Structure 1
Amino acid sequence: MRTLLFLLQKEFRQIFRDKAILRMIFVMPILQLVVLPWAADYEMKNIRLSIVDHDNSPYSQELVHKITASGYFLLNTYTQSFADAMHEVEEDRADLILEIPPRFERTLVRENEATLFMALNAINGVKANLGGAYLRTIIQDYNREVRLNWVQLPRFNPETRIEIVPSNWFNPFMNYQYFMVPGILVILVTLVGSFLTALNIVREKEVGTMEQINVTPIKKHHFILGKLIPFWILGLVVLTVGFFLSWVVYGIVPVGSFVTIYVFAAIYLLAVLGLGLLISSYADSQQQAMLISFFMMMVFILLSGLYTSIDSMPEWAQLVTLLNPVAYFIDVIRLVVLKGAGLSEIRQQLLTIIGFAVVLNAWAVFSYKKRS
């Protein structure tokens, strides 16, 4: 026990002496948590729109006004030439083209229907899809308004109308920050747990102290615990700092219990610490450890459900996410923060993470013994 305490004291001194590690542990997570949620916005704004109006009627001008007043679109050009509007798209000065045909108002009044043409610059697929969806929704709203104006009371409306009243549960204002900030916090905790652990142990190999430790009477499990426990504690500290910043900057307060989050986080950190130890056992230099960690973190982030729903991924990708511990923690932290889930509701994810912790640490210890 005294040996372990001595190793822990030595590790904490070594960590707090290294200013680069301190920046990576505290400064980097704070900056990322403050900056990234503002950039990772699911809403698309400032979509550059070119309108080709061949009609120039009150109805077409009212439609244009409704589109530009929505706040999603910037009117780039308003012209009567489709070739001019297409040139704006080719020069990357416009994202969408809306063409209003001749006699638009006349056709709409006489035949009760009219056709609009919409061209999308699909180089940026996300912007094209969302911009097109926004534009279609605005046109549909305009269509309903026109029809309501035509119905003069007490005239009977022959069309059956179904009115839908939505209710957003757990995130009533659809604030994307409530959805993104917990997920980004999980990524930061993962970086501290796995990435820095791997670099710290590999550094011992590079400076030659690993061989010196191996010939001392220090037991290997004491050495491993001495390496992992400091980063386990620092991971929980980063999580605490992250929740404090989430409250101060974004006003996010978990609906559920902090106990549920910290119980899961404590076990999750054991799993990612085992992953860091596993990386360090196969890497011979910090550069190798960084490249391996970078590759694995990219896979973990892209297949975690942070930016893209797992249900919308291909079947093979959904199977891969079953082996991604980050996906489980992001799912859990969102359930607790937004829905107020308890330990009983996350027991499946909890048991899975316990399995990850056992397997990764056992593999890491076995590999470390074999290579030492």
Structure 2
Amino acid sequence: MIKTIALLSPVYATLFWGVTLLIQRRPANQSRFVLGIFMLFACMLYVSHTVFFLEFYHTYSFFESIYLYAGLSVYPLFYTYILLLSTIRFNTRRHLLHFLPGILFGVVALILTSLLTPDQRIYYVKHILINENLKNIDTTTLTGVKALVFLISRIIFILQTVIYLIFGIRIANQHNKTINNFFSETEGKRMNWVRDISILVLGVSLAAISFALLGRSYFVQHDLLLLLPSAFFTVFFFILGHKGNLQQPIYERLYENDEELSYQEDAPPEENNLKERLLVLFEENKIYRLNDLRIHTISESLHTNRTYISRLINEEFQMNFNEFVNQYRIKEAKELLSTRASTKYTMEYIAEQAGFGSVASFSRVFKEIEGVTPGKYRLMHNKD
């Protein structure tokens, strides 16, 4: 009973989210679709685990090709999911190379299994995988060659966990930097959550490596120990599916095309004049009060492209677009909070007047800049 629960829990979690993410009738969402595929591949992985630990050794010898294919594809799929959520341009053809190891090892494992006799297949699983735990591999035999293929695939899997995790963190950081240079309101657009997911992935990776070093034979002999990795992976996949279901990707094209940039580079605007017009736009016209202000709106108002505006703000003011806009919004909010009538204003009203899209966004930015919440700031001012 314990073994069955431990084996089937991650299967149910991944199958549930895989089906849920793929059948939803929403506008085309590539990232959610890829996450659904990722969940189904993880499900195949744990179905193979189930067949192994239920001691269907002959059946598992064929399932091992699925196990290798799915195992070497889950991290590339997770990496693809992060890429599709980010603002980085996606090259589909080149990216397909990431899935070659899974296909190659899956096909080779299937061919080798087909060449083995039924007795050799059972011997491979019971003796080489369980009793020997891939030690003393004899490559002069067909079962030894199959064991070597399995061992190499495990090494590649370990490398994948580290490489794709590092790449995922770098992509998240680059995405956040880009978002801060294009949007004044970043709630729901930034990928800070990837940091939390990456920590979970790191935990999964370390756990997977540890389990690989211990060998599955260790868990065959201790049914209760199956509950630990089962609970860990079940919780991880459920959280990932939940976050992925809520996450909204950015569809807006954030970069000018090459022809526009080339034309603008040939005739750059006067920097001083552009800076003066930018300050007029913020200090006199108070354009920052638009709660969904984007750098595209600024560039249209000043008749230039976003690249110049972003570069100007970065170089002249030593901040990104998001920080530049928020300094004006916080200044406006502080003036409202400092008036004698401030106690009559709700936080929703102050946030709206200052240009924030929500009270949550207003409170977060205010505390980041001033070190206190808007409510505490108002209380301190009234006491003074």
Fold conserved (TM > 0.5)? no
Q: Which has the higher helix share?
A: 2
More strand by share: 1
**TM-score, scaled to structure 2:** 0.28
TM-score normalised over the length of structure 1: 0.28
